[in-house]
Each structure stands twice: as C-alpha cells, then as structure tokens.
Amino acid sequence: MSLFGLSSRNQKTFRPKKNAPSGSKGAQLQKHIDATLGSGHLREAVKLPPGEDLNEWLAVNTVDFFNQVNILYGTLTEFCTPNKCPTMSAGPKYEYRWADGVTIKKPIEVSAPKYVEYLMDWIETQLDDESIFPQKLGAPFPQNFRDVVKTIFKRLFRVYAHIYHSHFQKIVSLKEEAHLNTCFKHFVLFTWEFRLIDKGELAPLSDLVDSILQ
C-alpha cells in the first residue's frame, strides 16, 4: 500500500502482486481499504463496510494481506537463507512444519525460505482457483470459504512470527520497523475482528498481539 510504502531501494517483491478478486466489486472494496487506511484509523479500516458481503470483504483483504507479507518478506530474502534459518521457527519454542494435504500430506521439516516458498505457492493456488475465490461478480463462494481463509491467515501469521523472532534487527537496520509494525497491527486487528486465528496460534507474538488489542 502506497501509504506505508517502503523505499524503492527495499522494494524487492517476493513474487508478482496479486489483484483483488471478484471483478469490479473487488476493485471498489480495494479502494475502500486504501481510503480508510489512509485515514490512519486501523480499527475502523478492518470493519465490514455497511451493506457489503462478508465473503467479498474477506476475499479482498486476503489478497491484500498476501501482498503485504510478500513485500515484507521480499526485503529479507537475501538474509533468510537455508543456512541462517534451517527451520521455520518463531523463537526456540515454536517450529513450523509444512504440509498442504495434497502433495505433502505428512508435515515435513523445511528451512524457513522453503516454508515461505511452499506457503506462497499454496496461497497463490487458492487465490487463482475461481471455485474458491470467484472472479465474476455475484458468483457464489464455497461453503468452506471461511475455513480456507482461516488457514491462509494462520499460516501468514507464521511468516510474521518468523520475521519478528529471526529478522527484526535486520528490519531495523533497513529502517522498515514502522512499516512492519503497521502491517502487523492491521493484520492482527483484521483477524481479531473476524475471529480468523485461534488465540493459541498467536502465542509466539502474544505480548505484541496483546499490546495491539488493548
């Protein structure tokens, strides 16, 4: 988002930016997000706009947060390497293993960059699947749409947790901490508003999450 844009020097996008789903409706909601974020009132920005469809709102924001995490992680790809981050962790007590339930059914231990690569590929596949994220105006969302969104947000949180625990000093040296903190605050407020992540999943950053929610 331009409001919290990183300097062009640091704008290494991890992969191409995705556009909002659901045709012109998605574009309208995206404008609403940009306008409300521009006011700086994040608590208001996450609320469902009056008269809007909840699934449409969840869909547009899912794409938005996917893009935000991509850009943030993209600035760290030269520092988050298999050598430096051999496991996907968020401090000594939390380690994440990868499984997508399709090609990798049993969770496997992978390096942090490999985990993020698997995750972003997996999310992109969901976003591109029109039976999950319909592009046509008025096309129905699937019955399990909320569950899909919850899984995406749960896993995006893990990228934030890894960045804060393993790369925060680098973020500070790149002068990106204000951007990171604003993006994470927006993410937490949104997931809290719509109950998308169980409290237990937030444990690696519980102090930070509690300070945002107070």
- Does 16 map to a domain? no
- C-alpha 87/C-alpha 81 separation (Å) is 10
109-118 tens-digit pLDDT: 999 999 999 9
DSSP string, 87-128: SEESSTT-EE-B--SSS--S-B---HHHHHHHHHHHHHHHHH
Report the number of distinct structural domains present in the chain.
1
pTM of the model: 0.85
- Does 198 map to a domain? yes
- Does 68 map to a domain? yes
pLDDT at 40: 61
- Does 6 map to a domain? no
**36 CB-near residues (< 8 Å, 6+ apart):** 44, 45
- Does 91 map to a domain? yes
42-91 tens-digit pLDDT: 888 899 999 889 999 999 999 999 999 998 999 899 999 999 999 999 99
pLDDT at 37: 55
Q: Rounded mean pLDDT of 116-140? A: 90
- Does 14 map to a domain? no
Q: Which domain holds residue 77?
A: 24-213
5-56 tens-digit pLDDT: 444 344 455 566 666 665 555 666 666 566 555 556 788 889 999 988 999 9
| Residue 153's CATH number | 1.20.140.30
- Does 125 map to a domain? yes
Q: Rounded mean pLDDT of 184-202? A: 95
- Does 45 map to a domain? yes
pLDDT at 4: 38
